[in-house]
């Protein structure tokens, strides 16, 4: 879907790779972003069913679930209001922001998410350039009950040197709750593998209470 795997064949190939690496469950989070990816809960759930059928046919035994990564826009607020949200685990709501432009209503939206009974999880906090020089925003979000999901590949410098530096800082300060692979295509699995074998990866668990395993 959207910017992920292009074919069912590619999806199966990637899932097999994750299985080989020891992953027991995958939670995919396609975008809902009104100006770019016009997905809906129903479209995402239909695709999940197709994928699960294909996995069953190929006798690949791995749990796959879906949620969505919601871009903070008007459409998201509309869905939130109707509580038409695809969550993962215990009502976790994954959301993302513009990389370059600071939102002016972030605190208000976080409050609305909490009020609607969801726990907000900010996707890849290390990638927001507008927060890099204002670390207090990260601290304030955490204080207000926002959980952080780091992209593992940020640690390989996959996005940029600055993103890698901020990722390490968030880890050092014990601010990470979830780890995401951000794998969209096969090549990224190779980068992921390298990070999983690095010292930095072990440091994450020394300094942070990572709760991915609560989702099993």
Q: Which residue number, 55 or 72, has a Cβ lying nearer to Fe ion?
A: 72
Least Å distance, CB 122 to Fe ion, is: 10
Q: Which stretch binds Fe ion (CB under 5 A): 60-68, 92-100, 113-121, 158-166?
A: 92-100
Entry field: residues in the chain = 216
Of 18, 29, 80, 96, the one binding Fe ion by CB under 5 A: 96
CB of residue 59 to Fe ion, shortest distance in Å: 32
Q: Given the complex with Fe ion, which of 96 and 177 has the nearer CB atom?
A: 96
Nearer to Fe ion, 55 or 85 (CB): 85
Beta-ladder partners of 150: 179
Q: Assign residue 20 a region: left if phi > 0, alpha if psi is -120 to 50, beta otherwise?
A: alpha
Contacts of residue 64, defined as CB under 8 A and 6 or more positions apart, other chains included, come to 15, 25, 26, 27, 28, 48, 51, 52, 55
Site string for Fe ion, 51-90 (x = CB under 5 A): ----------------------------------------
**# of chain residues touching Fe ion (CB under 5 A):** 2
C-beta of 55 vs 166, nearer to Fe ion: 166
Tokens representing 173 are 């300060």
> Measured between alpha carbons, how far is 166 from 148 in angstroms, rounded to an integer?
13
Q: Are 41 and 27 in contact (CB under 8 A)?
A: no
120, 188, 206, 125 alpha-carbon torsion, rounded to 10° = -30
| Residue 126 lies near Fe ion (rule: CB under 5 A) | no
Binding site for Fe ion (CB under 5 A): 96, 123
């Amino acid at each position: 879907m959207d910017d992920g795997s292009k074919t069912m064949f590619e999806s199966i190939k990637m899932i097999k790779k994750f299985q080989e690496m020891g992953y027991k469950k995958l939670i995919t989070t396609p975008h809902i972003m009104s100006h770019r990816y016009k997905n809906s809960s129903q479209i995402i759930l239909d695709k999940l069913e197709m994928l699960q059928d294909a996995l069953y046919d190929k006798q690949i035994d791995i749990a796959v679930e879906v949620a969505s990564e919601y871009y903070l826009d008007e459409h998201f607020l509309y869905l939130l209001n109707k509580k038409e949200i695809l969550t993962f685990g215990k009502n976790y709501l994954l959301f993302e922001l513009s990389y370059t432009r600071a939102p002016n209503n972030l605190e208000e939206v976080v409050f609305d998410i909490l009020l609607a009974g969801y726990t907000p999880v900010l996707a890849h906090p290390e990638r927001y350039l507008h927060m890099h020089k204002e670390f207090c925003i990260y601290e304030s979000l955490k204080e207000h009950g926002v959980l952080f999901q780091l992209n593992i590949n940020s640690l390989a410098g996959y996005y940029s040197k600055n993103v890698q530096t901020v990722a390490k800082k968030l880890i050092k300060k014990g601010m990470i709750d979830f780890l995401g692979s951000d794998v969209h295509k096969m090549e990224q699995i190779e980068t992921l593998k390298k990070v999983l074998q690095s010292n930095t990866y072990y440091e994450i668990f020394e300094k942070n209470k990572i709760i991915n395993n609560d989702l099993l």
